[in-house]
């Protein structure tokens, strides 16, 4: 049960609000617990056809020839759909907010870029007949060199995964190959720190594993419209994505969703709706396209794997003075949402701590793996795992209690965060105190008395002097270099640094009197 500690944050919330802070019954709970909720797949429409896709057997291959003749003659087959049948066979999800370039086809045309990429769709009277027709499709592949490792993908001469992004990195603001965060002088602070801790963290992709797999049913409606029952967790986002791919106005569609059998971020990508609607358009019949369990596990998008290098500088008294992060987000073969995860990550650094010198280089990298997507706090969760591992190791190095170490370094209200926003409602100190209290973990009096409401701001609210050019590393002084485990220091094999990004081109004078606003996604914008 969520508990707002009014004893600590007396003024935080008005207790007389009608809904906020009051327990309330979820509107769909009765249906769920009585088994009467209707999901998209509970619609059995008259004359409904079934769509299945042929998926790539290779992680990276040119498609020399696709032969559908035998499959077309297979019993029960109503329609074979090829890439050329898709009105706009190139899309990127966030194009709806003008972020990123169209890079992913609905059905692969000349090349496949990950194992399991859809190539041909078969619409048939029954799922069985669709499967039998798929077994009769012939694809002539020419396998291409593959790359599965994020750092390998950045090396010169690495196979180009996605021609839209020939450097295998997402492009930010039309020119940058990564997101950069600079706050203070990290190299100087690392040189002056008593201990420096270098670590490498590698995450695995994580599957959302929803009980209900991704799927949708599309049916022709009156007035040339289509009704779409869908598992999507982003109804209007999916609707607009379909309107773009199928090149029709968005009012062509009536999407019905809302009851999702487990989403967690894995049902944002609109993987089934464009094809089930296209199938309905081409056959004039309702069409159902649902992932099997293996499709969901193997080719449904996971949380992306991330490789993270962290170099922290800490003083003997426990203060962290520098945090330098290099991270590579594995987007798989296409962008989906990893580009945005990188932006979130850069804004999150250095975690909920007040560290005067922070440095971050975060890359969104393309590899021949299954495209990654959103999942619960993506861009932040894995980085937090790495950061909290660092916190435990640093506490150990300086001989401090890990809880007290976190309280000491926690950010407080009024502190300047590295992305130049003032921290508000920080409350980490109180969280650690309450966690320690509940776990009966002893804290010293002075740490029990600390508060996120006091001691922040002032000098901690200032943006430190930040060198524009990368400063040359200084010779180690009296610093003790601490190797925490057997892993070699990450700095010894830092990949060739990309050339420093040129400054953004000067903006033309504003045509109107709108104010300029900075958006982490779009950069400077006038409104």
Burial of 3 (0-12, 13-18, 19+ CB in 10 A): exposed
* Smallest distance, another protein to C-beta of residue 117, A: 18
Yes or no: say if 301 and 117 are a contact pair by the CB < 8 Å rule.
Answer: no
Is residue 261 part of the contact set for another protein (CB under 8 A)? no
Out of 85, 132, 212, 330, point to the residue binding another protein (CB under 8 A): 132
- How far is 100 from 521, CA to CA, in rounded Å? 10
Alpha helices in 253-325 (DSSP H): 273-283, 293-299
Q: Looking at beta carbons, which pairs linking 245-252 to residues 24 or more positions away fall under 8 Å?
A: 245/86, 245/87, 245/88, 245/89, 245/91, 245/106, 245/274, 246/86, 246/87, 246/88, 246/274, 246/277, 246/278, 246/281, 247/87, 247/88, 248/87, 251/225, 252/224, 252/225, 252/226
Other C-beta atoms lying within 10 Å of the C-beta of residue 439: 9
User: Cβ closer to another protein: 130 or 423?
Assistant: 130
* Smallest distance, another protein to C-beta of residue 134, A: 8
Yes or no: say if 161 and 147 are a contact pair by the CB < 8 Å rule.
Answer: yes
Q: Which listed range, 91-99, 228-236, 287-295, 485-493, lies at the site for another protein (CB under 8 A)?
A: 287-295
Out of 75, 473, 504, 514, point to the residue binding another protein (CB under 8 A): 75
* Smallest distance, another protein to C-beta of residue 129, A: 8
Q: Which listed range, 103-111, 291-299, 407-415, 489-497, lies at the site for another protein (CB under 8 A)?
A: 291-299
Query: Mask of contacts with another protein, 191-230, x by CB under 8 A?
Result: ----------------------------------------
Is residue 155 part of the contact set for another protein (CB under 8 A)? no
User: Cβ closer to another protein: 177 or 295?
Assistant: 295
CA-based radius of gyration for the chain: 26
Out of 57, 72, 82, 127, point to the residue binding another protein (CB under 8 A): 127
Out of 12, 70, 294, 454, point to the residue binding another protein (CB under 8 A): 294
Q: Which listed range, 12-20, 102-110, 268-276, 289-297, lies at the site for another protein (CB under 8 A)?
A: 289-297
Query: Mask of contacts with another protein, 358-377, x by CB under 8 A?
Result: --------------------
* Smallest distance, another protein to C-beta of residue 57, A: 15
* Smallest distance, another protein to C-beta of residue 152, A: 21
Tokens representing residue 415 in the block: 């502190």
* Smallest distance, another protein to C-beta of residue 176, A: 36
Is residue 131 part of the contact set for another protein (CB under 8 A)? yes
- How far is 178 from 346, CA to CA, in rounded Å? 10
Is residue 455 part of the contact set for another protein (CB under 8 A)? no
Q: How many residues bind another protein (CB under 8 A)?
A: 13
Out of 38, 126, 480, 516, point to the residue binding another protein (CB under 8 A): 126
Is residue 510 part of the contact set for another protein (CB under 8 A)? no
Is residue 85 part of the contact set for another protein (CB under 8 A)? no
Q: What are phi and psi of 16, to 5 degrees?
A: -100, 20
Q: What are phi and psi of 241, to 5 degrees?
A: -60, -45
- How far is 266 from 336, CA to CA, in rounded Å? 11
* Smallest distance, another protein to C-beta of residue 14, A: 45
* Smallest distance, another protein to C-beta of residue 203, A: 16
User: Cβ closer to another protein: 132 or 404?
Assistant: 132
Closest CA to 138 of 49, 52, 57, 77: 57
- Nearest-5° Cα angle at 287, 65 to 246: 65
Is residue 73 part of the contact set for another protein (CB under 8 A)? no
User: Cβ closer to another protein: 258 or 292?
Assistant: 292
Yes or no: say if 192 and 477 are a contact pair by the CB < 8 Å rule.
Answer: yes
* Smallest distance, another protein to C-beta of residue 204, A: 11
* Smallest distance, another protein to C-beta of residue 53, A: 11
Closest CA to 179 of 20, 31, 340, 394: 340
Q: What are phi and psi of 444, to 5 degrees?
A: -70, 155
Residue 253's DSSP bridge partners are 226
H or E element that contains 186:
helix 186-192
Yes or no: say if 54 and 120 are a contact pair by the CB < 8 Å rule.
Answer: yes
* Smallest distance, another protein to C-beta of residue 131, A: 4
| Residue carrying the six token digits 């449904």 | 300
Q: Which listed range, 127-135, 187-195, 470-478, 485-493, lies at the site for another protein (CB under 8 A)?
A: 127-135
Out of 32, 73, 293, 376, point to the residue binding another protein (CB under 8 A): 293
- How far is 266 from 297, CA to CA, in rounded Å? 11
Query: Mask of contacts with another protein, 36-65, x by CB under 8 A?
Result: ----------------x-------------
Tokens representing residue 245 in the block: 């791919």
* Smallest distance, another protein to C-beta of residue 128, A: 6
Q: Evaluate the CA torsion angle 68, 72, 77, 82 in order and state its sign.
A: positive
Q: Which listed range, 14-22, 39-47, 288-296, 398-406, lies at the site for another protein (CB under 8 A)?
A: 288-296
Out of 4, 30, 135, 501, point to the residue binding another protein (CB under 8 A): 135
Residues that bind another protein (CB under 8 A): 52, 75, 126-129, 131-132, 134-135, 292-294
């Amino acid at each position: 049960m969520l508990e707002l500690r009014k004893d600590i944050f007396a003024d935080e919330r008005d207790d007389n609000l009608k809904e906020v802070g009051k327990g309330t019954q979820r509107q769909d709970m009765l249906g769920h617990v009585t088994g009467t909720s209707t999901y998209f797949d509970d619609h059995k429409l008259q004359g409904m056809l079934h769509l299945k896709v042929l998926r790539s057997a290779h992680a990276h291959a040119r498609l020399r020839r696709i032969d559908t003749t035998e499959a077309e003659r297979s019993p029960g087959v109503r329609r074979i759909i090829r890439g050329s049948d898709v009105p706009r066979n190139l899309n990127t999800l966030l194009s709806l907010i003008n972020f990123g370039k169209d890079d992913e086809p609905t059905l692969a045309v000349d090349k496949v870029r990950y194992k399991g990429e859809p190539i041909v769709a078969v619409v048939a009277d029954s799922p069985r007949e669709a499967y039998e027709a798929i077994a009769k499709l012939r694809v002539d592949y020419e396998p291409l060199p593959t790359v599965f490792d994020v750092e390998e993908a950045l090396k010169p001469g690495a196979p180009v995964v996605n021609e839209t992004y020939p450097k295998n990195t997402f492009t930010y603001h039309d020119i940058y190959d990564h997101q950069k965060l600079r706050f203070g002088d990290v190299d100087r602070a690392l040189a002056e720190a008593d201990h420096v801790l270098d670590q490498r963290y590698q995450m695995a992709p994580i599957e959302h594993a929803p009980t209900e797999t991704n799927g949708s049913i599309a049916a022709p409606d009156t007035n040339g419209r289509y009704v779409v029952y869908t598992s999507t967790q982003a109804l209007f986002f999916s609707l607009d994505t379909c309107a773009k791919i199928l090149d029709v106005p968005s009012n062509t569609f009536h999407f019905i969703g809302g009851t999702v059998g487990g989403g967690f971020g894995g049902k944002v990508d609109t993987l089934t709706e464009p094809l089930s609607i296209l199938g309905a358009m081409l056959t004039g019949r309702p069409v159902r396209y649902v992932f099997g369990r293996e499709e969901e596990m193997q080719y449904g998008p996971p949380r992306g794997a991330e490789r993270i290098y962290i170099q922290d500088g800490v003083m003997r008294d426990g203060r962290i003075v520098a945090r330098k992060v290099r991270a590579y987000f594995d987007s798989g073969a296409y962008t989906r949402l990893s580009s945005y995860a990188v932006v979130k990550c850069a804004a999150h650094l250095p975690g909920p701590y007040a560290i005067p010198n922070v440095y971050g280089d975060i890359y969104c990298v393309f590899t021949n793996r299954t495209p990654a997507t959103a999942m619960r706090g993506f861009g932040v969760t894995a980085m937090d795992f790495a950061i909290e591992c660092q916190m435990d190791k640093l506490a150990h190095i300086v001989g401090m209690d890990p809880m007290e170490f976190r309280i000491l370094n926690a950010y407080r209200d009024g502190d300047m965060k590295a992305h130049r926003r003032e921290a508000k409602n920080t409350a980490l100190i109180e969280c650690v105190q309450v966690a320690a209290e509940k776990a009966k973990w002893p804290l010293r009096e002075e740490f029990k008395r600390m508060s996120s409401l006091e001691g922040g701001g002032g000098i901690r609210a200032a943006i430190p002097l930040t060198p524009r050019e990368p400063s040359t590393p200084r010779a180690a002084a009296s610093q003790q270099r601490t190797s925490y485990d057997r892993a070699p220091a990450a700095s010894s094999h830092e990949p060739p640094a990309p050339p420093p990004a040129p400054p953004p081109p000067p903006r033309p004078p504003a045509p109107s009197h709108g104010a300029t606003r900075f958006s982490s996604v779009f950069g400077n914008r006038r409104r």
